[in-house]
Amino acid sequence: MTELSNDRKRYRFSEAPIWELLREYYEQEGLDAWRNDGIPQYVTSNPMIAAAYTDMIVAFLLDRQQQGGARETIYIVEIGAGAGRLAGHILHELCRVRDEVVEGLPSFRYVMTDLAADSVAAWQQHPALQTYVAQGVLDLARFDAMADTALQLAVSGETLQADRLQEPIVLIANYFFDSLPQELIRLEDGKVYEADIELIPVAPDGQTGTDYPKEIGTQFQQQSEQQASDIDDRARSASHRLNELRIEYTYRHAPEYEQADHRYADLLTLYRQQLDDAYVLLPWASIDCLQRLNRLSKAGFVLITADKGEHLLDGWRLEEPPELTLHGGGGFSLNANYHAIGYVFGEQGAEVLFPPHHYTGINVGCMLNVAQPRRYSGLRMAYDRSAARFGPDEFFSLKRWIDERLDEMELAPWLAFWRLGNYDAEFFIQSTERLSELLTEANDEEYLDLLHGIERMWSSHYVMAQRYDLALDTGLLLFEMEQYEQAKHYLQQSVAEEQEETVPTVFYCLAICCLELGELEQAGEYLEQLLAVEPEHGEAQALMEALREGELD
């Protein structure tokens, strides 16, 4: 850190307080960071991408079995599992494949990890994960990506430490590398200039101040002295605090990057030769994290990852320094440098797989940091089929197009796209109004396919604190389909989960369901609840009177 006049300070980019702000945000918020997509997670945590990852994981397990390996449990470790949604979907798919598709699938155990201890505790209580814990296919651990060298498993009590495993470990990292500290350099005439940043507070009128706000200027130097007084301040999101700052960049010549004995001299030489007059992010922290995880197994690792990040060298011909992407609910991210990560491990013998084309929204890659990676033909084929040819990035490009034309879709293509997305709940929710319109013209086969899809959707649904009520939307649609028994099940679930916000319509639909099923006493109970909140509801009054007079017996 460099001291400037008027108590202003300049920081090396990777050591600036912004990274501590981000770390605090995740530790303080836990699972709440992902509430209502405050931190983006849907694109990398939905049933479609889970199915693609499952294809690759299953292919890897079978490759190991064919090679005479897989004699011990193979660990699948998700780094930064966040809300737990991706893990829930992958475990559902893995267990379905194990039970229904592939006989004799090698033993596996999925380990969800996160920085926030509160998140690990919350996963232990999540109903969708309990069955996997009971089966012994799921464990949990807190993991600090910046320091930890071992995983202390919360369920089994085991410790995964250096050389503990004989089988390669499978690592999953979605929207992970874009949140770790990076170095920022500028390349010019073969020389390397490292970025320092100054954080300048911006007043409400847009004028810049001369002093750092308390949480920026002193929190990170005197944290132990002011922990108690800063508790409320830290509850503010990193994103909101960054909105109060303007970042100014300065660059200083850094000859250490030009030395032949630099740890990553070959990569830096390539950049100096090929990327003149460009800005580049260097993911040293990400590489270090992967190297520490690599030591857990004597046989290396396979990485499956998705993020905003360029794997092509040309993608790093940046004419301006990259900007922080601020997220509405809190936090920020920077593009991951997949090219650098792949280059470093590729030089050590890994095979690095990325699409041959540019990505649009998320880049999905696979790295085989194992002996003789070309022997893993099943995994390499699965990657080609599930990611490179048509994968999650292509799916969401298509979904964006469909979202704009949803009101024009007919039921047959809607069902086809729903199946392509592996019966995604969010696509169903955004489509309920259109589905209601289409029911009047649906044929018997489409009705049956819709019912089957609802069952598949719910079998893998991962409940989160969200702004929508899937049980309500499902129950109301089934009510329109005159599937009264199933409608009643989901509407009752909605009432149980949203007791303080239940709308009168739900009680009315439940009463009708019970009447259709011959459950007159329960129908009366729902009508009473409806009339308690809406005494003038004419239809409910008429039905209640008919019940009392025995006209509905």
Which pLDDT score is estimated for 39?
Answer: 64
Predicted confidence band of residue 465 (pLDDT cuts 50, 70, 90): low
pLDDT band at 3 (very low <50, low <70, confident <90, very high): very low
pLDDT at 234: 44
Q: What is the pLDDT of residue 387?
A: 97
Average pLDDT across the chain, whole number: 89
Higher pLDDT, 246 or 8: 246
- For 50-91, the pLDDT digits (tens) are 999 999 999 999 999 999 988 899 999 999 999 899 999 999
Q: What is the pLDDT of residue 326?
A: 79
Separation of alpha carbons 300 and 177, rounded Å: 19
The pLDDT, as a whole number, for residue 227 is 36
Question: How crowded is the C-beta side of 3, counted as CA atoms within 13 Å?
Answer: 3
pLDDT at residue 43, rounded to an integer: 87
Higher pLDDT, 416 or 7: 416
Predicted pLDDT of residue 21: 85
Tens digit of each residue's pLDDT (9 = 90 or more) over 480-526: 999 999 999 999 999 988 766 778 899 999 999 999 999 999 999 99
- The answer to whether residues 150 and 162 touch, using CB atoms and an 8 Å cutoff, is yes
What does the pLDDT average to over 8-12? 85
What pLDDT, in 10s, does the model give residues 263-306? 999 999 999 999 999 999 999 999 999 999 999 999 999 999 99
DSSP, res 513 = H
Phi-psi region of 211 (alpha: psi -120 to 50; beta: other; left: phi over 0): beta
Helices of type H across 384-443: 392-403, 411-420, 425-438
DSSP 305-320: EEESEE-SGGGG-BSS
Output the pTM of the full model: 0.90
DSSP class per residue in 43-108: TTSSHHHHHHHHHHHHHHHHHHHHTT---SPEEEEESS-TTSHHHHHHHHHHHHHHHHT-TTPPPE
